[in-house]
Amino acid sequence: MTYPSFVVGIAGGTGAGKTTVSRLITENVSDSVTRIPLDNYYRDLSHLDLAEREQVNYDHPEAFEWDLLREHLETLLSGGSVEMPQYDFEIHNRKAEAITVEPTDVIVVEGILALYDEAINDMLDLRLYVETDADVRILRRIERDVVQRGRDLEGVIDQYLSTVKPMHEQFIEPTKKHADLIIPEGANRMAINLLEEKLQNEVHGEGGRAWEREDFEREIGDRT
């Protein structure tokens, strides 16, 4: 028996508005929502020094620890909890401490390559791709990286031209074909309302996740 989570994947280029979409479609749905930022699954690079870590291509699929993400999703979907790593953009590495994540009604996997891995795609109930023009995305990225991630403008521009843009074209954009829905311009109000309604229905509607979860808990309780 599997835990009745509804799993949503939200992909899209850097600065597309994935986090905003994730927040808006889930904030009124249930307390039982887990957000899994793909960033938390960047490989542990503790064996490199900071200067080396600064040179890594963080937009290539190889930068992520897919096995760990697959394993964590499988565990959550079978009712277990996981220790999710946390990421620190300033040091380009995982933080020392992880956080415990319990299974919830809704799980949102969000990140540039959220629709890249076949096994993960198979675990997603709804696949979204947020599509926003590249000029808007780079402007947001500059603002965010300089203000929140302690980067300098020249570095952000170099990184954008050398890795972010080519990887977007080679790996991220093509995952659009795996999407069930493409959301234009990020927080598109109509798309948000429809998706919110869909999630409400999945969680609270007749035969929805909340009911299935009670069955799950009863069955597990009977076995223990």
Residues that bind ligand C5P (CB under 6 A): 14-15, 39, 42, 58-59, 89, 92, 111-112, 164
Q: Considering beta carbons, is residue 15 or 103 the nearer one to ligand C5P?
A: 15
Residue 33 half-sphere exposure toward CB, CA atoms < 13 A: 21
CB of 71 to ligand C5P, least distance (A): 21
Q: Considering beta carbons, is residue 52 or 67 the nearer one to ligand C5P?
A: 52
Q: Considering beta carbons, is residue 123 or 138 the nearer one to ligand C5P?
A: 138
207: left (phi over 0), alpha (psi -120 to 50) or beta: left
Question: Which residues, in sequence order, are CB contacts of 77 under 8 Å at separation 6+?
Answer: 2, 3, 5, 7, 103, 123
Does the CA dihedral 122-124-126-132 come out positive or negative? negative
CB of 195 to ligand C5P, least distance (A): 19
For residue 13, give the nearest of 193, 97, 133 by alpha carbon.
133
- Give the helix/strand (H/E) hosting 53: helix 50-54
Q: Considering beta carbons, is residue 26 or 40 the nearer one to ligand C5P?
A: 40
Which strand ranges, in their side-by-side order, compose the sheet holding 181-184?
A: 33-37, 106-110, 6-11, 126-131, 181-184
CB of 203 to ligand C5P, least distance (A): 26
CB of 111 to ligand C5P, least distance (A): 6
Question: Distance between CA atoms of 197 and 142, rounded to whole angstroms?
Answer: 33
C-alpha dist (Å) from residue 101 to 34, 55, 80, 82, 187:
8, 31, 9, 5, 27
CB of 87 to ligand C5P, least distance (A): 7
CB of 59 to ligand C5P, least distance (A): 5
Q: Considering beta carbons, is residue 147 or 190 the nearer one to ligand C5P?
A: 147
The rounded radius of gyration (Å) of the Cα atoms in the chain is 18
Q: Considering beta carbons, is residue 142 or 210 the nearer one to ligand C5P?
A: 142
